[in-house]
Chains A and B, each alone.
Chain A
């Protein structure tokens, strides 16, 4: 089956630090990857759609300058949380799709804690 690897699993860092999260499709090419954010006991909220070789499409209310997305290859997308603050603490999870309308395959997520 399609495998998506997300790294790191856990990040604890000081306020003001920038944090990079990687999302890799291991056995398929993902022209499109998605980044979600999930608060405790809540559903997944789509932050942005990442397309290989082009700019990401951000959802309304998501600050593109704070959440930088790069999709440099068909197997790698990165999310950088710039100058992170405690309110950015959350569970971030990525997914990749093999084709339009096909199930998205998710990484294991990253728990980000900003002190």
Chain B
């Protein structure tokens, strides 16, 4: 069974600063994918970034980067130069590469202060 743990129910950051959202996972699979999604208060789920378990380099997408440490089973999301519009709930999720079923963490509510 797969499990995702997000230990930070809430995080605060000043505008323009960087913030790291923690995510650890547990799986017995050798091949898996890790995802981060953003959910604003309006409810939609916005895909941010993906990391495959065999990817040697950390994934980056604009201001988002994924700090993937396979030995520690962690996949932290780093948001650089925070903006007010980054305030939202952030979910870490994983799936088996051979399958599609996503397992979500409990989420982290990020608040960006002006």
Contact = CB atoms under 8 A, between A and B. Distances in A.
A106 B95 CA distance: 16
Interface residues of A, number: 21
Contact of B43 (A46, A97, A105, A111): A111
Interface in B23-37: 33, 35, 37
B68 interface: no
Interface in A16-63: 32, 34, 42-44, 46, 49
A107 B96 CA distance: 22
Given A93-B43, A105-B47, A46 B102 contact: yes
B101 A109 contact: no
A108 B33 CA distance: 23
29 contacts: A34-B101, A42-B106, A42-B107, A43-B91, A43-B104, A43-B106, A44-B104, A46-B101, A49-B100, A49-B101, A91-B43, A93-B45, A95-B102, A97-B100, A100-B99, A101-B97, A101-B98, A101-B99, A103-B47, A103-B50, A104-B47, A104-B100, A104-B102, A105-B47, A106-B44, A106-B47, A107-B44, A108-B43, A109-B45
Interface of B: 33, 35, 37, 42-47, 50, 52, 91, 95-102, 104-107
